[in-house]
Amino acid sequence: MERKYISEIKSDSGKVIVGGWVSELRIFGGIKFIVLRDRTGLAQIVLPKKEVSKELFDLVDSFSKESVILVHGLVKKAEQAMNGFEIVPEKIELISKAEAPIPLDISGKIESDLSSRLDWRFLDLRTLKNNALFKIRSKTFKAVIDYFDSLDFTAIQTPKITSAGVESGAELFEIKYFDKKAFLSQSPQIYKQMMVAAGFEKVYEIGPIFRAEKSHTTRHLTEFTGVDFEMGFIKDESTVMDIIEGMLKHIISSIKKECEKELKLFEVELIVPTKIPRIPIQEIRKMLKEKGKIIPENDDLDAEAEELLGKIVKEKFNSEFVFATNYPFTKRPFYHMKPENDSNGTRSFDLIWNGVEIATGAQREHRYEILKAQGKEKGVNLDEMKDYAAIFKYGCPPHGGVGFGLDRIVQRMLKLENIKEALLLPRDPERLNP
Ligand code: AMO
């Protein structure tokens, strides 16, 4: 007989084998209960003294919480039990005994702080809620792939050991590379543009991103999963925003369809976006000012402003998302294209979901001389970035793209307080373990 998952069992399943972890153990004089947990749910194992062998009845006393057991038993209808059935065992195999006490309470009875949970993450991940969270993350990952695949984008994997980046140098982690200096990749920016110039035209990458930022916020990590895409022959940045809109619609509708049961554990209602408002940042500053939040001309939106903006667009446009467009050149990297008649602006945008930035994108400057001049304005010498500069010298179409944080997508989708809950083993300025 093969082991069955708890979710596959019905009250008339007859004889079954189930296996998993001992979630609860209740021992009374004449009856003993085990709540067994596997990746699909919980089931009650009941041992009435009169119905099981003495040997088996006594064996249960040696079990501890979180031990792994295999139960061979008979399913019985039981209205009062959690799934409408319980299992009376004929045999139980103790596969792996857990030491007691367990260093982290995962019963949900005692609330553990996030730091302890992360210290004992493999135990923390055993909860059904975390199981659901990572199923949703896994399905999100798949939805991204399905979406880009359906549009005939090519999946790329670019180097994570690099000689330099094009974003801010302050964010680079330096590593020793034999007798040279190297850096962990802070963005696939150079390479995704390179692959457009290589003739792939439409590329995407889901991969690790490293940022040496000493930020202690609920939305920053030093290592996260980036979802990047880049495409050639665009009309302007609006082509990129159109693709993003389609991606979000696809992700959210897939999760709603495929993770209905899992979503219930998070008490969130996912709304598939229709048309996401695209509002110039200058307009947004005015909207914020009307609500008493002043953002000076050349400043970025801070966390408070993003949150307030989230509320404003919800109220005004009934949208959880908003594209903040046309950022000033002073606030953007040198490679963002400037609009024809606005030398202070850029063809760029940020995407904000329920008050938090989840993506940054733009049309890139593909005309070498203009790019070089823009670099100069920002103190970037393109001649010193030979590999990047070369992309634009031998035939490069107009192009644009965006970078998302997958962890932020999951955080916003499930309304998680801290981004660290959205990935398995987070890294921050202090945390390097487990
Ligand atoms: P940017 O630096 O804005 O843009 O990063 C893109 C997106 O990545 C996520 N993100 C982070 N997530 C967690 N922790 C962090 N420390 C962190 N930093 C960034 C955010 C952010 O919106 N090359 C450009 C993208 C492009 O133009 O295509 C870039 O990297 O969700």
The number of beta carbons lying within 10 Å of the beta carbon of residue 381 is 10
Pocket test for ligand 1, best of 171, 205, 360 (most atoms within 8 A of CB): 360
**Token pair 């989230």 is at which residue?**
310
d(CA 276, ligand 1 centre) in Å: 20
How far is 76 from 89, CA to CA, in rounded Å?
Answer: 11
Tell whether 259 and 407 lie within a shared domain.
yes
How far is 327 from 357, CA to CA, in rounded Å?
Answer: 14
Residue range of the domain that includes 31:
6-96
d(CA 408, ligand 1 centre) in Å: 10
**Would residue 158 count as lying in a domain?**
yes
How far is 382 from 394, CA to CA, in rounded Å?
Answer: 15
The minimum-distance atom of ligand 1 relative to the CA of 364 is 27
d(CA 228, ligand 1 centre) in Å: 9
Tell whether 185 and 39 lie within a shared domain.
no
**Ligand 1 within 6 A of CB of 405:** yes
**Amino acid 295: pLDDT:** 92
**Would residue 138 count as lying in a domain?**
yes
**Would residue 388 count as lying in a domain?**
yes
Residues 165, 166, 167, 171, Cα dihedral to 10°? 20
The number of beta carbons lying within 10 Å of the beta carbon of residue 121 is 18
Structural domains in the chain (count): 2
**What does pTM read for this prediction?**
0.96
Q: Tens digit of pLDDT per residue, the chain (434 long)?
A: 899 999 999 999 999 999 999 999 999 989 999 999 999 999 999 999 999 999 999 999 999 999 999 999 999 999 998 899 999 999 999 999 999 999 999 988 888 999 999 999 999 999 999 999 999 999 999 999 999 999 999 999 999 999 987 776 779 999 999 999 999 999 999 999 999 999 999 999 999 999 999 999 999 999 999 999 999 999 999 999 999 999 999 999 999 999 999 999 999 999 999 999 999 999 999 999 999 999 988 888 999 999 999 999 999 999 999 999 999 999 999 999 999 999 999 999 999 999 999 999 999 999 999 999 999 999 999 999 999 999 999 999 999 999 999 999 999 999 999 999 999 999 999 999 99
**Which residue, 96, 113, 145, sits at the end of a domain?**
96
Tell whether 138 and 270 lie within a shared domain.
yes
Tell whether 252 and 391 lie within a shared domain.
yes
**Would residue 114 count as lying in a domain?**
no
The minimum-distance atom of ligand 1 relative to the CA of 215 is 16
Tell whether 335 and 403 lie within a shared domain.
yes
SS3 state at 395: coil
**Would residue 215 count as lying in a domain?**
yes
Tell whether 253 and 346 lie within a shared domain.
yes
Tell whether 35 and 143 lie within a shared domain.
no
Q: Residue 243 has what DSSP assignment? A: H
Report the CATH number that the domain containing residue 55 is assigned in CATH.
Answer: 2.40.50.140
The enclosing H or E element of 374 equals helix 368-377
Give percent above pLDDT 70 in the chain. 100
Burial class (CB in 10 A: 0-12, 13-18, 19+), 138: exposed
Nearest CA to ligand 1 atom 21: 359
Nearest CA to ligand 1 atom 9: 405
Residues 389, 394, 399, 402, Cα dihedral to 10°? -40
**Amino acid 373: pLDDT:** 97
Tell whether 82 and 192 lie within a shared domain.
no
d(CA 125, ligand 1 centre) in Å: 26
Report the CATH number that the domain containing residue 304 is assigned in CATH.
Answer: 3.30.930.10
**Amino acid 134: pLDDT:** 98
The minimum-distance atom of ligand 1 relative to the CA of 361 is 27
How far is 143 from 355, CA to CA, in rounded Å?
Answer: 23
